Structure 1
Amino acid sequence: MKVLVFAASNSRQSINQQLASYAASLIPNAEVEVLDLNDYEMPIYSIERETQSGIPDQAQRFFAKIGAADAIVVSFAEHNGSYSAAYKNLFDWTSRIDKQVYQNTPMLMMATSPGPGGAQSVLASAVGSAPFFAADVKASLSVPSFFDNFDSEAGELTNTELKQQLEAALQLLH
């Protein structure tokens, strides 16, 4: 099983990247590819830029990576209650290739934040809009208070209940 993993964040110290990578590591016999959104940085989307220069190679590569995956694990960073600008721009460009960005690939959508909200606003938005972009969301999980529930040194969830919820969610990707 080829699993594509990324955080919807361009932070080099992304807690969402830590969470997504950890989740993927729990999938037995998976071939995991972790993407860094910094490798997909492009000009801010506009119809004028698209008309003038076409769709950037970074969006084409991202779309191809999704198409080659058997499953996707993504964790969304929440910026002011919504998507990070880095993710939203990549998504906007990619949606111009094909509105079915996620190509019916089974997905686990997650989110975390340092606070008790666990980035639930952005996760709800992502899950709610997913069907419009051909996302086959098998499960979603919010991890509140990241630093209280995740050991960054060991790279794992320490909260037993959240770990069980994550393991159950991952079973749905098979």
Structure 2
Amino acid sequence: MTKIGIICGSLRKNALSGAAARAAVGLMPDGVQPVTLPSFGDLPIYNQDIQDQGMPDTVNAYAEAVAAVDAVLFVTPEYNWSVPGGLKNAIDWLSRLSPHPLDGKPAAIWSVSPGLLGGARVHEGLRHVLHSQGMIIMAKPEVQIAGAKGKLDVDLGTVTQDDTRAFLASHLSTFAQFCAGRS
């Protein structure tokens, strides 16, 4: 059974991307085990001086969780037309480990925004970062959940719009097939 880890790119308690990440768990196809990966909020800001003193326990614990999955779904907002700083920081820490917990893993991206573009600009920047980590990215179909306030229930972590729910479930089925083709 393929284990797909879900990383939420926001640290905000009531984040729209958090609601979409929780909804993804219930939309996974048969044969896939969704794994909600822990928040990266406890990781220190990457600093070589900290690493030189020994890898922090929080980084090692986060890396173990990521290493235990077969693929990763990134569900993230767009901050200032780019990758949220906390998410980039988590990837920066993971990149310093050997074996590298992201290397060779399939990845997909969902961007989530209350705006009309649905966080579309985060895709390019995040893909560049993930390519640098040796991840195999399923680039199409892209998922941008625009107008997310009208499509997601933040309290329940569900998709409230039928068309959006069907599209996301279809995307996850395609991603599961993409992952299976790489094992």
TM-score (norm 1): 0.83
Matching residue of 2:23: 22
- Root-mean-square deviation over aligned CA pairs: 2.3
| 1:146 to partner: Cα distance | 0.3
| 1:100 to partner: Cα distance | 4.8
Q: 1:156 aligns with which of 139, 154, 159?
A: 159
- Say whether the 8 Å CA contact 2:72–2:106 is kept in structure 1: yes
Shift in alpha-carbon separation, 1:71–1:117, aligned structure 2, 3 A = same
| Identity fraction in percent | 20
Residue ranges of structure 2 left out of the alignment (5+ in a row) = 178-183
Matching residue of 1:9: 10
C-alpha deviations, 1:48-99, integer Å up to 9, x for none?
2222x22222222222222211232221122222222221221111111149
Matching residue of 1:83: 83
Count of matched residue positions in the alignment of Structure 1 and Structure 2: 171
C-alpha deviations, 1:99-137, integer Å up to 9, x for none?
955222222211101111211111221123322212222
- Say whether the 8 Å CA contact 1:102–1:133 is kept in structure 2: yes
- Whole-Å Cα distance in 1 between the matches of residues 83 and 96 of structure 2? 18
- Whole-Å Cα distance in 2 between the matches of residues 114 and 171 of structure 1? 25
Correspondence list, 1:132-147, <5 A: 132-139=132-139, 140-147=142-149
- Whole-Å Cα distance in 1 between the matches of residues 172 and 150 of structure 2? 22
Matching residue of 1:55: 55
- Whole-Å Cα distance in 2 between the matches of residues 70 and 154 of structure 1? 24
- Equivalent position SS for 2:72: strand
- Whole-Å Cα distance in 1 between the matches of residues 61 and 115 of structure 2? 34
